[in-house]
Amino acid sequence: MSVAAQFSVEFIQCLSPEGALTGAPSPLATNFETLRDLFQRMLYLRVFDTKAIALQRTGKLGTYASALGHEAAHVGIGSSLLPQDCFAPMYREYGAQFYRGVKPRHVLMYWGGDERGNNFAGANSELGALHDFSWCVPISTQCLHAAGAAMAFKYRGEPRVALAVCGDGGTSKSDFYGAINIAGAQQLPLVLVIVNNQYAISVPRTNQTGAKTLAQKGLAGGLRSIQADGNDILAVRAVLDERIRRLVGDMLETMYAADGVGLAATQVDVHERVIVMDTSEQHDQPVVLINPEITDRSDELQLAEEGCLSVPLVYDRVQRHARVTVRALGRDGQAFEMDTEGLSAICVQHEMDHLLGKVFVEYLSPLKRDRIRTRMLKKAREEERAG
């Protein structure tokens, strides 16, 4: 008998229940500044949750959905989303929402019966909350809301992701299956996170689904599906950070295929602050700069010929700083600082310009820019006629 298809579900766990590393430390595991921030946010959520439960038990707050035991999952979600992304929560993802600018008072207003808490009024607009959906009490309908947002992002060509959270019981709803079906069929930028607390509205998981894992339900819709230890902040982040790792891999592949020495994410229509470059002679020493920032520039200038993958077959001399220092996160998530000179300095400045929406020809004289524009229009017309 032949096999039509085979599937497996990867399980990721970086910390044992006792808190010991289960294998080689991930980049995040050695980034102590980030770990401290994540722990503080988890502790903040635990304290808030404890106080909110006390308010509810003493009749000072209406219904309240506790986040006890969900701290790592929720903070992991919040810290992995970018401000321009869209979050569709159910009714207890406070840790993720606090990360995105929602205030504790919004939560207390909502559960106290004041729907104005859903407006997130006063939330820091730079953190993302104003892009997000409000709390959703009906089970799993938020999955379809996120799928709709993801479809809009794809239709408009926006480099954004929609993420929804549901519980184990929510995966048995048609809303959940509809979301994964459309996401797989249309290849939407949708992430669905199932936070499994082992019970679905007080019904054991074994009574409401025969699936061995909940992650495998995504496979039916054609989605990449991974299971992680939800109490392990390192594992949660390892899964959700995959987007940047895949972007870096795709950018390096594109750069090398085009025989370039640098590429910015904006050149491949992804609005992330990511640069890849390789100025080595053998083209075998890639450098990845995530959220780069030039911290120092030399007074000495250099004039050198530049080209650009975004403006093919155009080369001219541009004056730039001879040496620059750049600070960024590397491919491993670790912060580092790099002193550059010569071609490397040129490449850093060239690609940083791309992140600001600028190409090197803008440094040229108006006459040269007009000649380049005329040449490119002529080439485009010729290609159109040939096609």
Which residues are marked as active site? 351
* Residues near 328 by beta carbon (within 8 Å), at least 6 away in sequence: 275, 289, 290, 291, 292, 293, 335, 336, 338
Find residue 10's DSSP bridge partners. Answer: 226
Q: How far apart are CA 378 and CA 385, in angstroms?
A: 11
Pick from 126, 161, 184: nearest CA to 243:
161
Contact 152, 181 (CB under 8 A): no
